[in-house]
Amino acid sequence: MKTTLVAGGAGFIGSHLCETMLAKGHHVLCLDNFQTGSIANVEHLIGNKRFEVIRHDIVDPIRLDVDYIFNMACPASPVHYQANPIRTMKTSVLGTMNLLGIAKRTGARLLQASTSEVYGDPEIHPQPESYRGSVNPIGIRACYDEGKRAAETLCFDYHRFHGVDIRVIRIFNTYGPRMDPRDGRVVSNFIVQALAGTDITMYGDGSQTRSFCYVDDLVGGITNFMECEGQMGPVNLGNDGEFTVKQLAEMVLDMTGSKSKLVYHPLPSDDPVRRRPDLTLARKLISYETRVPLAEGLARTIAYFRSHV
């Protein structure tokens, strides 16, 4: 039986990964400091004898014996990662270094959850993995953008110098059940506001685009790439269907039957205007395909928020 460590395992994506690895027969260690994760996301797994919860911050070293490491541990929304930007940078750099140290000692395979934010406000569209990005290194988003870029650097240096078995993925906008209703992300914001009947907060004129991936599709891609032999990445994972933010708001309003009104605010600093993954490499390496269209995924997510928030 393999032992899998999911750092950030009580978070939105991490909790779905815990479920998936348990279903594959692994012993799963869910490690989280609960800064943004929630025990409610994994409480249904606690009765499983192959599942353990460890309260710990990866900024501090820890000694564990594992076969797989998924590093999902970092605040991933602007509201959370800008709340303590120095801590965010420490999580990306020191935290990733600590997990790579475990991988070096035990021979574990480590998958680093990087982000589309490494591309910044892109000058190339859609964004292929070969694009090096356009990031403001001193902006308010830099603690996350540059932290994740530095984490990628660490992964490849640990591979080159110590032979650590790594996988690096770049996650594009993901949504679904267990999103934090207070995380400030566009999907959760719109759904929570629509269900409450309050104004829908639209930043900019709503013409900026995003590509929204349902969490089940993303987790399938993550686990498939983790098990892909002879490949390190980085590889984009997400959905390449492109929608304007205003289109998303109109879909949410229609699907919830809400009478909320759109209210426009200035676009935040360094917010990318367009974001869409080039998935050519993922399709080649792991036959990656998304199966859940936006309307279906939104319906599932709205149902979750209706019953849990």
**Number of C-alpha atoms within 13 angstroms, CB side, residue 152?**
22
Q: Would you name the residues annotated as active-site residues?
A: 144
Are 167 and 223 in contact by the 8 Å Cβ rule? The answer is no
Reported pTM? 0.95
pLDDT at 269: 78
Per-residue buried b or exposed e for 121-131, using 16+ beta carbons within 10 Å of the residue's own CB: bbeeebbebeb
Between vectors from CA 77 to CA 72 and to CA 83, what angle results, nearest 5°?
Answer: 105
Looking at residue 267, the DSSP 8-state letter turns out to be P
pLDDT at 106: 98
4, containing H or E segment: strand 3-7
pLDDT at 226: 98
- In three-state secondary structure terms, 280 is helix
pLDDT at 184: 85
Are 274 and 283 in contact by the 8 Å Cβ rule? The answer is no
List the chain residues with pLDDT less than 50.
none
Looking at residue 94, the DSSP 8-state letter turns out to be I
Q: Where are the beta strands (DSSP E) in 43-198?
A: 51-55, 68-71, 109-115, 165-171, 174-175
- How are beta strands 243-244 and 209-210 bridged, if at all? antiparallel
pLDDT at 271: 79
Are 71 and 56 in contact by the 8 Å Cβ rule? The answer is no
Q: Which amino acid is at 108?
A: A
Per-residue buried b or exposed e for 235-260, using 16+ beta carbons within 10 Å of the residue's own CB: bbbbbbebbebbebbbbbbebbebeb
Domains in the chain with CATH codes: 3-174+215-240+274-291 (3.40.50.720)
Are 209 and 245 in contact by the 8 Å Cβ rule? The answer is yes
pLDDT at 77: 84
